[in-house]
Amino acid sequence: MLVPSAPALMTAALRELLKSAKGLDFAAAFEVTHHGPYSEKPVFFIEIGSDETAWNDEKAGSAIANALVSTFSLPLAESPICIGIGGGHYAPRQTDMAKNKKISFGHMLPDYQIEGASDDELKRKISMAVSSTPGCRYAYIDKKSLGKEVHRIEKMLEEISIKRIRGEGLEILA
């Protein structure tokens, strides 16, 4: 089971964090779906690193606080809502897309959730990511990371009426 994501807020928060974290020793990036507490309300998570040294970094904490204040102060832009499929744990292609294009990401399935999955299992994971991403009508596939899996995934997306979205077809952020 996946909790509902908050794609527009999550993507806006990443964009604001990229601005407020400039000059810090951290790379701001999406992290793929992999943990979190149960919630029936749409959520997203922001973390500072993965150890106490990072957690105690006041500049990083301030960057996150500023990004969240900015995010919740801005009107949310309308953009296609999608899930991300493929890539590594920090979703580099989805992060780049969010930085540069009008798109909002909800749940993201990394390569390691796809590799070795049976058709039924993979279709279940994709369907769950879609149903837990409110307003999702699209999927962005990191085709460079998935190789031959792209065709199998495209077929599954077609079966559940989700369109594949490509970066070149999206409007560039101003």
Burial class of residue 159, CB neighbours in 10 A (0-12, 13-18, 19+): exposed
Instruction: Give residues with Cβ within 8 angstroms of 122, minimum separation 6.
Output: 114, 152, 153, 156
1-5, 135-139, 158-162: least confident range = 1-5
Q: Domain limits at 111?
A: 81-169
Indicate whether 94 and 146 sit together in one domain: yes
pLDDT at 136 over 80: yes
54-58, 115-119, 132-136: least confident range = 54-58
Indicate whether 85 and 69 sit together in one domain: no
Indicate whether 102 and 158 sit together in one domain: yes
pTM of the model: 0.93
Indicate whether 14 and 65 sit together in one domain: yes
User: What is the pLDDT, as a whole number, of residue 80?
Assistant: 95
Residue 50 placed within a domain: yes
Q: Name the residue type at position 71.
A: T
Helical (H) or strand (E) element with 96: helix 92-100
Indicate whether 50 and 107 sit together in one domain: no
Q: How far apart are CA 3 and CA 154, in angstroms?
A: 24
Residue 2 placed within a domain: no
Average of per-residue pLDDT across 77-104: 95
Indicate whether 68 and 93 sit together in one domain: no
Indicate whether 126 and 155 sit together in one domain: yes
Indicate whether 89 and 64 sit together in one domain: no
Indicate whether 121 and 66 sit together in one domain: no
pLDDT grade, residue 54 (50/70/90)? confident
Indicate whether 119 and 150 sit together in one domain: yes
Q: How many CB atoms lie within 10 A of CB 112?
A: 12
Residue 174 placed within a domain: no
User: What is the pLDDT, as a whole number, of residue 26?
Assistant: 84
Q: Which domain CATH number covers 103?
A: 3.40.50.10700
